[in-house]
Structure 1
Amino acid sequence: MPMCTVTTNLPREKIADDFATSMSALLAKILDKPEQRVTIIVHTGILVSCAGSLDPAMIVQLGSIDRFGENRNNQKYADDIFKFVTEKTGIPFSRIRVVFTDIPGYMVAGLPSDQ
């Protein structure tokens, strides 16, 4: 159940309408998870300082069950995310940060237990 929160100082109008759905498809593919389990939240127009500058930047916080950790594919995932973000927004790699969180399965609920 990948959950991704994107925070950027770009205004909403600078983010393509298909950004969230395209990122959802990308994450499902690279994480080998069903896309119907992927959630994307995009926060735009947020005050973000990166490397001491207010130039366009983006923070991608990505959590998933049993996917990230030492000796895993974190760098490969990051490379794919950097490429996607740069292609979609023009933000250079040097102003993108990706934070991975490995979530224990018991810490995530998708539906009420009676569903």
Structure 2
Amino acid sequence: MPFVDLESNLPAERFSEDFLRKLSSSAATTLGKPEERMNLVVKAGLPMLIAGSYAPCVSLSVSAVGATDSAEKNRDHSGHLLRFLSAELALPEDRIVIRFHALEPHQVGKNGTVMSFL
């Protein structure tokens, strides 16, 4: 049950439903998770500064069980997601940062229990 949170200073209209579907699909593919388990939130129009600049930018946070728990996996995920975001949003790669968080099954709740018991 991956969680993808995108924050950006780009205006909300840049993040259409089509973009959200594509991002969800792209993240599911790289993480090796089913799309129907993806959770995606986009927060647009935020005051943001990356590397000392207010130029258009994106900060992406990716949390998942078993998919973001090693440097090797995250290197691959980073490349895949960076290329996707850069192409879709017409941003230079240095204006995109990605954070990965490894989750344990007991840290994700669903249906009144946690993933450990599902």
Q: Do they fold alike, i.e. is TM over 0.5?
A: yes
Aligned to 1:8: 8
For 1:26 and 1:14, how far apart are their aligned partners in 2?
17
User: What is the deviation of 1:14?
Assistant: 2.3
Percent of counterpart pairs with the same letter?
Answer: 25
- How many residues are paired up? 113
Distance 2:83 2:89 in 1: 10
Displacement after TM superposition at 1:28 (Å):
1.2
Q: Which runs of 4+ in 1 moved over 4 A?
A: none
Is 1:92 matched with 2:95?
no
C-alpha distance in structure 2 between counterparts of 1:27 and 1:65, whole Å: 13
What residue number does 2:116 align with?
none
Q: Please give the secondary structure, in 2, of the residue aligned with 1:27.
A: helix
Counterpart position of 2:108: 108
CA distance in 1, matches of 2:104, 2:93: 29
How far 1:17 moved relative to its partner? 3.2
SS of the residue aligned with 1:59? strand
Greater shift after overlay, 69-78 or 29-38?
Answer: 69-78
Gap regions ≥5 residues in structure 1 = none
Which amino acid in 2 is paired with 1:46?
L
Per mean C-alpha deviation after superposition, the further-off stretch among 103-112 and 46-55 is: 103-112
Asked if the contact 2:32–2:67 (Cα under 8 Å) also holds between the matched residues in 1, the reply is: no
Question: Counting helix residues as a fraction of each chain, which structure ranks higher?
Answer: 2
Q: Secondary structure of the equivalent of 1:54?
A: coil
1:46 aligns with 2:36: no
Distance 1:69 1:93, change over 3 A: same
- CA 1:112–1:82: 2 relative to 1, 3 Å: same
Give the Cα separation in 1 of the matches to 2:20 and 2:106.
26
